[in-house]
Structure 1
């Protein structure tokens, strides 16, 4: 049988769940699982492998003493690709392909999961993994709404598992150096940060009701979200722009840069938030703003400004994404894994070039830039090493993004409790704090 024919057979089997654990006899399942060295390494399930999860596979494959034991996805084609990539990336054994990740959680020899699912799945999947005794590497944003962000923090405390947020920029060497420069006074007192992200995303058109593709389990894809009919412009990426499943650009990519801005300014929760913008570029089904400004005021006389342009990629300071910090004595521009410091006369004082020769993808992470972040996750499991992006800390940055969306959707400024991050004196805005769930799928501690 040719490789392509064999792969088609695998996809067909995966589409019917034939390679999931539920289809294996008890003896066969035991033989597969017992062939892995128990506790000699970390056995990890990668959940969601159509896009970002493939990069998880590549990064994990580079870490010693890690075995990719499962690859999980509701898309049979993506699942087959994920298995192929794991093998090509150096896996000693092909991981088990499984459609429903909850079956993988039943495996007592599984140590951890890495989650790269759509936003509406992040918190429920992470919660169920912790309840099953697994550690969690969780892609940004980790939550679909503020209530889920709070729930996830409570879960990390209750279950005592390692939960690393996929804000991998916190592990980049030049980013860490830039923060040391800021915190040691390189530009004096820092009072303002500007974060931005631009792209040239195309129209998603007007989706048509259509039969669900045979390779997709749409019921399981929707999971905790209340059921809607399948439309042909939703999957795989366009769900980001629908409030029902996604969270828009400010959460999709803004969380990286607003997190760096908050880290650099050494602030916690804002005292007020105001956001405006709209869907300007195209007339289509896209619900979230393609152009958005969000202003965050903090105690101590500090401000963070977000600018997101999904469909107009004119750069700022020569880069399509980044953060600039402004202080009494100058400016620090943080542009991916490099930075520059200018004095108040606009003279370049210091320039730190990228530490890697591999180009960093402007629309995501450079493949080489993920490994250290995953290694930190593994080290925290092994020996209690401090996490670089523990979710309870990164939740503050995630909440900034959610608050920006709530301000945008209500059309007004929000007053925020600086101790809790919660909205004050606005009952209507608090209606957007959580969401409705499909009955029986509600995440609970």
Structure 2
């Protein structure tokens, strides 16, 4: 992202078009041509908290780091230098990373409101993409990301890395194969919203942050230290609170276990919604949201609900399974060590989410949390937030991907992007 915040629409579109035009020449050589992923090179867009963590998984392949906060970018470059004794290029403008012909893939760890543009432009530039969860800021963005990945034949992995943990996979395989009977209810528990304390007065942005480019497609509003970096996730312009933060993890596991990676609910209804009394942040602090899938299965997402634990609980007519990070509990103790039969459904096995992405770059097979999967999970999160914000039930068609009978709710499935940071 640029050190010059005064990017004109013409300059932005000219640069983007140039990057997309490079697709005429072969920019990606499958890693399988060289063996063991040795020749894959990565660029990293957004290298703050989660971005630094993702960088650590690709240290041997990273050749470029990019951030609108120069301190983040410099610290990330120092990490590579300290751990690998080599320098990487530092950028403030992600389009310059996409212009590099030697880079095969980018890792997108920006705030959520930048996920769509960076991912779509990367696909158009011939790069494969590892994009942090939640995949999108809106439902419309997510569908456009899927379309960009498919039309440009790109591998796009969503960073919902719980799919690459053995306990989550085992739980979902047991559920899929009926070991707890017919599932009728799934509980998904969210973390409480971080209390930011009293919102300070707006101020000038620090010199190390290109704030206008940080805002990007979001509407212009004054800088406030409680709305940027980690705290971005608690403001509607940039994210969707703990629903899109932890919900993107635990709803993802619910969909995996229920076999609904390519579908979604028919209705969504939020109740018991509470917001911060002084609006120190915009997103809910508590809620209870019921998703009806139309086949006898209901998913209840709870934040601040005593009966719903953080994680995912599958409840069937013959038993229950609860799974969370490092946790597997079942009503039948034997389920934890149970071996599947040869005839049972087996799910994709991955024990390393980042390596799965690299492996799929080589094989060109869809990764364990493909862009379509990430989009469907994010869609459920966005629908829950729409119901919370409007205070009413939402009817959803997962085939047409449209809200019916509610024009105001339907309008919230997309959002205008500030020029020149617009979706095509």
Q: Shorter-chain-normalised TM-score: which range?
A: 0.7 to 0.9
How do residues 44-443 of structure 1 correspond to structure 2 at under 5 angstroms?
44-61=42-59, 66-90=60-84, 93-199=86-192, 201-267=194-260, 268-280=263-275, 283-309=278-304, 321-343=310-332, 348-351=333-336, 372-443=352-423
Measure the CA separation in 1 of the matches of 2:123 and 2:234: 29
What per-residue deviation string (whole Å, max 9, x for no partner) do you get for residues 200-232 of structure 1?
622342231211101111011111112222123
User: Secondary structure of the equivalent of 2:225?
Assistant: coil
1:296/1:132 CA distance change after superposition, 3 Å:
same
Whether the aligned pair in 2 keeps the contact of 1:192 and 1:265 (CA below 8 Å) is no
Q: Secondary structure at the match of 2:218?
A: coil
Q: Supply the distance in 2 between the matched residues of 1:352 and 1:414 (Cα, whole angstroms).
A: 40
3-state SS, counterpart of residue 149 of structure 2: helix
Aligned pair count reads 382
Structure-2 change in CA distance of 1:330 and 1:315 (3 Å): closer
Q: TM-score, normalized by length of structure 2?
A: 0.84
Structure 1 residue 187: deviation in Å?
Answer: 0.6
Report the alpha carbon displacement of residue 89 of structure 1 after superposing the two structures with TM: 3.5
Q: Gaps (5+ residues) in structure 2? A: 6-14, 16-30, 339-349
- 3-state DSSP class of the match of 1:292? strand
Q: What is the rounded CA distance, in whole Å, between the counterparts of 2:275 and 2:368 in structure 1?
A: 37
Partners of 1:219 and 1:315 in 2: CA distance: 43
Cα pair 1:191 1:265 within 8 Å, conserved: no
* 3-state secondary structure, aligned to 1:42: coil
SS at match of 2:352: helix
- Say which SS state the counterpart of residue 393 (structure 1) adopts: helix
1:390 deviates by 0.5
8 A Cα contact 2:164 2:351, kept in partner: no
8 Å CA contact 1:15, 1:75 repeated in 2? no
Secondary structure of the residue aligned to 1:257 is helix
| Cα distance, 1:199 vs structure 2 | 3.6
In structure 1, C-alpha distance between the alignment counterparts of 2:311 and 2:166, rounded to whole Å: 15
User: For 1:396 and 1:16, how far apart are their aligned partners in 2?
Assistant: 36
Instruction: Give structure 1 stretches of 5+ with no counterpart.
Output: 1-13, 23-36, 354-369
> How far is 1:46 from its partner?
1.0
Per the TM alignment, residue 411 of structure 1 is displaced from its structure 2 partner at its CA by 1.4
Note the alpha carbon deviations across 1:324-367, whole angstroms, 9 max, x for none: 10111100111214312214xxxx344469xxxxxxxxxxxxxx
Deviation larger for 417-426 or 375-384: 417-426
CA distance in 2, matches of 1:286, 1:398: 21
Deviation, structure 1 residue 16: 8.6
Q: Is the 8 A contact 1:207 1:234 kept in 2?
A: no
RMSD: 2.5
Cα distance in 2 between the residues matched to 1:200 and 1:118? 17
Shift of 1:93: 2.1
Q: Residue 20 of structure 2 corresponds to which residue in structure 1?
A: none
Tell me, yes or no, if the aligned pair for 1:141 and 1:252 is still in contact at 8 Å: yes
Please give the alpha-carbon distance, in whole angstroms, between the structure 2 residues aligned to 1:78 and 1:252.
21
1:167, distance to aligned residue in structure 2 (A):
0.6
Q: Which secondary structure state, in structure 2, belongs to the residue aligned with residue 377 of structure 1?
A: helix
Say whether the 8 Å CA contact 1:277–1:289 is kept in structure 2: no
Q: Deviations over 1:81-115 (max 9, x none)?
A: 1112223343x522111111111111111101000
CA contact (8 A) 2:189 2:311 kept: yes
Q: Take 2:52 and 2:420, find their aligned partners in 1: how far apart are those partners?
A: 30
Change beyond 3 A, Cα 1:298–1:56: same
- Distance in 2 (CA, whole Å) between partners of 1:199 and 1:405 is 15
The Cα shift of 1:178 comes to 1.4
Partner SS state of residue 379, structure 1? helix
